[in-house]
Amino acid sequence: MRYEEIEHTADVGIRAYGSTLNELFANAAEGMFSLIADLDSVKPVGEIEVRLAAEDIPTLMLRWLSEILYIHETQRLLLAAFDVQVDGTSLRGRARGEAIDKKRHELKLVIKAVTRHRLSVDPQKGIAEVIFDI
């Protein structure tokens, strides 16, 4: 299992898994986008690149997910495939997907923001938890 939805009273969250930090970040991104749309219908035809740095790993996760959420909102893209390279507290990521096509894509939730509430990234256990504001 790469990710799962977790219960939260007012918002929605995911628990992501990964045997490496790179995999954990990629699976968290996929988990977030699985809340936005059915990813089986998204073709990985276009690619965007993201480069970020932060003071710590949890903040890097927050910035990574916030950045690709911003790209989704401003460029109207659905992203479904992710490659992430984490080096210390820097990240280089690639995300593949396509423009939203309402005829083919079933949109689910509108995520307003990635929150710090209960945010945790445990590289040793290979688990991350993220709560989203909807």
Radius of gyration of the chain (CA): 14
Interhelix angle 21-36/57-75, rounded to 10 degrees, is 40
pLDDT at res. 39: 96
Q: Which domains does the chain have, with CATH numbers?
A: 3-133 (3.55.10.10)
- To 5 degrees, how large is the angle CA 46–CA 15–CA 108? 55
pLDDT at res. 11: 87
pLDDT tens column, 9-56: 778 999 999 999 999 999 999 999 999 999 999 999 999 999 999 999
pLDDT at res. 60: 98
pLDDT at res. 112: 95
pLDDT tens column, 48-102: 999 999 999 999 999 999 999 999 999 999 999 999 999 999 999 999 999 999 9
Q: Which helix (H) or strand (E) holds 25?
A: helix 21-36
Both tokens of 98, joined, read 């396509």
pLDDT at res. 7: 78
